C-alpha cells in the first residue's frame, strides 16, 4: 500500500536580502488546503545547536501596513534584528491571519472592537473561538532546517506547548514585549488577561 500523502510539503528556497541582512526564504504548502507558509533563515548552525526562532502569525495590517492597533509589526522587526545580531536564527511565518480567522473576519472583529468589544469578545461574537491557530507545520519547517533545540521569542505559552508536543526542545523563552502603543495597550492587556500571554506589566502602564 502506498504512503498517504503528507500533510505539508517543502516546495522551494531562495535568497531573500532584507533591510536587516540576507535571509533565505523557504516555501511550504499545506497539501489539503494549498495554504502557503514560509520560513526565513539567517546564518548557519550545527544540528544540536540552540537556535533562536520566532513563530510569527500573519498580520497584514501590522506586518505590512504599519498598523499600531497590535504589536505584530514591531515584534517581527525586533525578531529580525535579534536574529541578525545573534548571527543566526529563523522566523517561521505562518499564514494564519487574524489568529486563524482570516483578514476580512479580522477587519469585522476590528469593527466590533471599535464599538467597545475586546479582541476575544469580537471573535466570539462572530462565531469563532478566540484563537484558531494550529502550529503543526512548524515540525516540518524545523526538520527541514535541521533544528531540534530552540530559544523561542514569544510571550505566548501556547506556542511553547505546541513545539514541546511535537518533540522540539524549547530550551529558553525570550520575551518579545516591544511595540506597546496607546492604540494597542488595551489589546495587549486583554491578551494577558484572557489568552494567557505573559507580558511585563510595567510595559502596559
- Catalytic residue numbers? 131, 133
Residue numbers 48-87 binding ligand GTP by CB under 6 A: 56-59, 70, 72, 75
Binding mask 125-154 for ligand GTP (x = CB under 6 A): -----------------------------x
Residue 30 in the binding site for ligand GTP (CB under 6 A): no
> What sign for the dihedral angle of Cα 190, 194, 198, 200?
positive
User: Can you tell me which of 73, 106, 117, 142 binds ligand GTP, judged by CB under 6 A?
Assistant: 106
Residue 63, class by beta-carbon neighbours within 10 Å (0-12 exposed, 13-18 middle, 19+ buried)? buried
Does the annotation list 147 as a binding residue? no
Q: How far is 94 from 156, CA to CA, in rounded Å? A: 15
Residues recorded for the chain: 205
Q: Evaluate whether 94 touches 59 at the Cβ level (below 8 Å).
A: no
User: Can you tell me which of 37, 155, 163, 180 binds ligand GTP, judged by CB under 6 A?
Assistant: 155
Beta strands 36-42 and 8-17: pairing type?
unpaired
Interface region with ligand GTP, contact rule CB under 6 A, candidates 31-39, 98-106, 136-144, 161-169: 98-106
Q: Which is nearer to ligand GTP, 83 or 109 (CB)?
A: 109
> From the CB of residue 38, how many other CB atoms can be counted at a distance below 10 Å?
18
- Residues binding ligand GTP (CB under 6 A): 56-59, 70, 72, 75, 96-99, 101, 106, 109, 113, 119, 123, 154-156, 159, 197
Amino acid at each position: 500500500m502506498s504512503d498517504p500523502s503528507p500533510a505539508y510539503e517543502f516546495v522551494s528556497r531562495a535568497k531573500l536580502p532584507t533591510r536587516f541582512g540576507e535571509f533565505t526564504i523557504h516555501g511550504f504548502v499545506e497539501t489539503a488546503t494549498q495554504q502557503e507558509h514560509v520560513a526565513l533563515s539567517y546564518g548557519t548552525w550545527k544540528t544540536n545547536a540552540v537556535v533562536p526562532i520566532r513563530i510569527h502569525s500573519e498580520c497584514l495590517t501590522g506586518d505590512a501596513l504599519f498598523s499600531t492597533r497590535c504589536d505584530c509589526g514591531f515584534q517581527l522587526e525586533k525578531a529580525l534584528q535579534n536574529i541578525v545580531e545573534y548571527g543566526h536564527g529563523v522566523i517561521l511565518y505562518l499564514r494564519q491571519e487574524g489568529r486563524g480567522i482570516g483578514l476580512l473576519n479580522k477587519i469585522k472583529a476590528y469593527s466590533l472592537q471599535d464599538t467597545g468589544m475586546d479582541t476575544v469578545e469580537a471573535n466570539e461574537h462572530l462565531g469563532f473561538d478566540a484563537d484558531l491557530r494550529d502550529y503543526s507545520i512548524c515540525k516540518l519547517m524545523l526538520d527541514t532546517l535541521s533544528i531540534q533545540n530552540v530559544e523561542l521569542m514569544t510571550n505566548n505559552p501556547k506556542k511553547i506547548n505546541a513545539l514541546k508536543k511535537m518533540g522540539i526542545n524549547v530550551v529558553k523563552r525570550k520575551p518579545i514585549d516591544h511595540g506597546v502603543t496607546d492604540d494597542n495597550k488595551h489589546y495587549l492587556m486583554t491578551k494577558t488577561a484572557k489568552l494567557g500571554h505573559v507580558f511585563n506589566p510595567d510595559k502596559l502602564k
